[in-house]
Structure 1
Amino acid sequence: MKIIILGAGRVGESVAESLVSEQNDITVIDQDPHRLRQLEERLDLRGVVGNGIQPSVLREAGARDADMMIACAASDESNLVVCKIAHDVFNVPTTVARLRSPEFNEGDELLGKSGFAVDNVICPEESVTKYIRQLISFPEALQVVEFSQQRACLIVVRASAGGAVVGHTIGELKDRFPHAEMRVVALYRLDTEMEAKPNTRILPGDEIFVLADVRKIRAVLSAIHNVDKPVQRVMIAGGGKVGLRLARSLVGQCEVKIIEQDRERCEYLASQLPSSMLILHGDGADEDLLLEENVGEMDMFLSLTSDDEDNIMSAMLAKRMGANRVMALINRRAYADMMQGSTIDIAISPSQTVIGELLAHLRRGDVAAVHSLRHGAAEALEGIARGDVKTSKLVGRRVEEIDLPPGARIGAIVRGKDKASEVLMPHHDTLIETDDHIIIFIPNKRHVKEVEKLFTVSATFFG
């Protein structure tokens, strides 16, 4: 796929890095030649220096035969204009814009073909906030992703010593926890994937990937960890866009303290948040301040500044001082990979929270949702079975008859619409029906294209 990315900042760089790894033809436009040169040296892509809102620059970048334009510049205005020009002048089929302003929502008439011609909207700050909110809602989880309009959920948890599942095989879970129906789609031990077979025994420290009905997630987590303690006290280091969005989403739910270095920003935060939230002017890595504010009593400490090193240091310090669970926002992918599972409980990578939204538009076939897992090495894909027995590779076939690539496995099937839908844990003889939403775990992204083909129908289908 030929893709043009406007902007080589943190978001643009992260998007380019993820898409290059999928053998796409990537061109990045930016006005900073030094930044582009660094990208070209590190990644297999082409850089074009210039202002992306100029048609001549887009033409040089190959807009005439591009399949997608992703506008990730710093300003909403530039991203909107670029999408408009890409569509109207160069007939680019798909446009994606990074928009920070809440005034623009995907599907609005203003963003339609007669408006700015933006097909899809991404907002990294909002995506990261939603991701963190899920982790606060399910504090025992390492990752939480949703499918089929929040009906099914995939959670990643670490089996803890003394937990109810430790020492038991995957096949025993159904009988031991009949109230918490789940499907273990993957198990990693010391960063190595183990075969998730019925006779595979779960050991302390194992990372377990579990699919379940979203209404049963708490029961599943309780079964694995023996605890279900809600988060009541949160401390946030960094009152920027993500910190403020998160604090707003927690109003009335738990006790929140925010540490911010910039005094003017502190005053702004105080004007935007209720008086019940404490705004502290200071450094999140100040040991005396953390001690004074009882960081050791916090259920969760989140370091969300724009500086990776500061976030790592303050999160590690908070953990050492007794905070129950700590998370750090880390933009550099290498740093995030290195810190995941260390003293820091969860390293949050903004690129991984956004990339799934983009991947759903890149996948062939009828793909409804995509989530990047294992730092981008694995993927969970939700596709819709269309057609009939003659035109589909899925409809009318039993699960055991479906030709999946090595390691890939069907984790759940969502059948029916809206409130009438049900989440099925498929067995070998489960029959796939038309319009079933099928969630497949793919441990190696090299096999994604093989899975995509399953959701394409033959040319004789006209439904």
Structure 2
Amino acid sequence: MAELSRKNLVGENNDITLVDTNGDRLRSLQDKFDLRVVQGHGSHPRVLREAGADDADMLVAVTSSDETNMVACQVAYSLFNTPNRIARIRSPDYVRDADKLFHSEAVPIDHLIAPEQLVIDNIYRLIEYPGALQVVNFAEGKVSLAVVKAYYGGPLVGNALSTMREHMPHIDTRVAAIFRHDRPIRPQGSTIVEAGDEVFFIAASQHIRAVMSELQRLEKTLQAHHAGWRRKYRCGSGPSAGKRL
């Protein structure tokens, strides 16, 4: 998690200081990337001060210890008034009561990264929308980005994107991208949807199924829905995620 966060942030030209107890790892990363490093415990005030917490815009605490991440955010808030605090929290005992635990009057974490919960939520959405390759929610679940593969027999397959309004006059949806033969296509009104296309579209969550039915045969989607309870899922996030599913 820390490695992924570091790659993304460095790629966006941010001024980053990385804190870790492993000196060899820090030296290796410093040789590869443009960042400062400080060796020490990430929740200790002295270490955070040395890392520049006094004028930092954000603290991202993604160690393997939930408790260390929580204390780091508390120290950043109480001593350095760091405006944005993000923490990785894995334990379901904490995640379950996140609304009560993580706010400015308790443990001051602004944004929670709960990897196992993200996996569980993603699987739930795939079960809820049979036939979807991926579904991501935005705006507190009111809007969704869905990815579906177009099949022969779907009403929109073989037609231009400009006809979507005719097919669904009461639904507001936008096609954000199309992948055809593993290559991205910039969607335009004249773009013809072909069978096998992976279509990325945005719509109100309540309309996702209706848009999917334009890209796939209705009976195929229904068959997948009725067979959904028999699907087998292999969860690689550990026994905790499996039990919660």
1:93 maps to 2:83: yes
What's the CA shift for 1:224? 0.7
The verdict on how the C-alpha distance between 1:186 and 1:111 changes in structure 2, with shifts beyond 3 A counting, is: closer
Aligned amino acid, residue 45 of structure 1: L
Aligned amino acid, residue 241 of structure 2: R
The verdict on how the C-alpha distance between 1:38 and 1:166 changes in structure 2, with shifts beyond 3 A counting, is: farther
1:274-285 to structure 2, matched below 5 A, reads none
Task: Name the CA distance, whole Å, in 1 between partners of 2:160 and 2:209.
Answer: 21
Equivalence for 2:232? 235
Equivalence for 1:24? 14
Aligned amino acid, residue 172 of structure 1: T
What's the CA shift for 1:147? 2.2
Indicate if the aligned counterparts of 1:146 and 1:153 stay in contact, CA closer than 8 A.
Answer: yes
The structure 2 residue matched to 1:174, chosen from 156, 160, 165, is 165
Indicate if the aligned counterparts of 1:157 and 1:209 stay in contact, CA closer than 8 A.
Answer: yes
The structure 2 residue matched to 1:208, chosen from 199, 203, 222, is 199
1:25-64 to structure 2, matched below 5 A, reads 25-64=15-54
What's the CA shift for 1:121? 2.2
Aligned amino acid, residue 170 of structure 1: L
Aligned amino acid, residue 144 of structure 1: V
- 1:226-276 Cα offsets, whole Å, 9 max, x none, are 1212112233435753x5435533xxxxxxxxxxxxxxxxxxxxxxxxxxx
Equivalence for 1:379? none
The structure 2 residue matched to 1:137, chosen from 96, 105, 128, is 128
What's the CA shift for 1:181? 5.1
Equivalence for 2:60? 70
Task: Name the CA distance, whole Å, in 1 between partners of 2:103 and 2:189.
Answer: 50
Task: Name the CA distance, whole Å, in 1 between partners of 2:41 and 2:113.
Answer: 21
- 1:291-321 Cα offsets, whole Å, 9 max, x none, are xxxxxxxxxxxxxxxxxxxxxxxxxxxxxxx
- Segments of structure 2 that go 5 or more residues without pairing to the other structure are none
Indicate if the aligned counterparts of 2:157 and 2:195 stay in contact, CA closer than 8 A.
Answer: yes
Equivalence for 2:148? 157
Indicate if the aligned counterparts of 2:235 and 2:242 stay in contact, CA closer than 8 A.
Answer: no
- 1:60-80 Cα offsets, whole Å, 9 max, x none, are 211111111111111121112
The verdict on how the C-alpha distance between 1:232 and 1:192 changes in structure 2, with shifts beyond 3 A counting, is: same
1:178-193 to structure 2, matched below 5 A, reads 178=169, 182-193=173-184
Normalized per residue, which structure has more helix? 2
The verdict on how the C-alpha distance between 1:244 and 1:160 changes in structure 2, with shifts beyond 3 A counting, is: farther
Indicate if the aligned counterparts of 1:180 and 1:223 stay in contact, CA closer than 8 A.
Answer: no
Greater relative CO, 1 or 2 (CA 8 Å, sep 6+)? 2
Aligned amino acid, residue 87 of structure 2: A
Indicate if the aligned counterparts of 2:176 and 2:187 stay in contact, CA closer than 8 A.
Answer: yes
Task: State the superposition RMSD in angstroms.
Answer: 2.4
1:17-416 to structure 2, matched below 5 A, reads 17-104=7-94, 105-108=97-100, 110-178=101-169, 182-226=173-217, 227-228=220-221, 229-230=224-225, 231-238=228-235, 240-241=237-238, 244-249=240-245
Task: Name the CA distance, whole Å, in 1 between partners of 2:106 and 2:85.
Answer: 13
The verdict on how the C-alpha distance between 1:116 and 1:82 changes in structure 2, with shifts beyond 3 A counting, is: same
Indicate if the aligned counterparts of 2:160 and 2:189 stay in contact, CA closer than 8 A.
Answer: yes
What's the CA shift for 1:172? 1.7
Task: Name the CA distance, whole Å, in 2 between partners of 1:183 and 1:213.
Answer: 10
Aligned amino acid, residue 89 of structure 2: L
Please give the secondary structure, in 1, of the residue aligned with 2:232.
strand
TM-score (norm 2): 0.84
Please give the secondary structure, in 1, of the residue aligned with 2:123.
helix
Task: Name the CA distance, whole Å, in 2 between partners of 1:150 and 1:22.
Answer: 28
What's the CA shift for 1:193? 3.5
Aligned amino acid, residue 234 of structure 1: R
* Equivalenced residues, count: 237
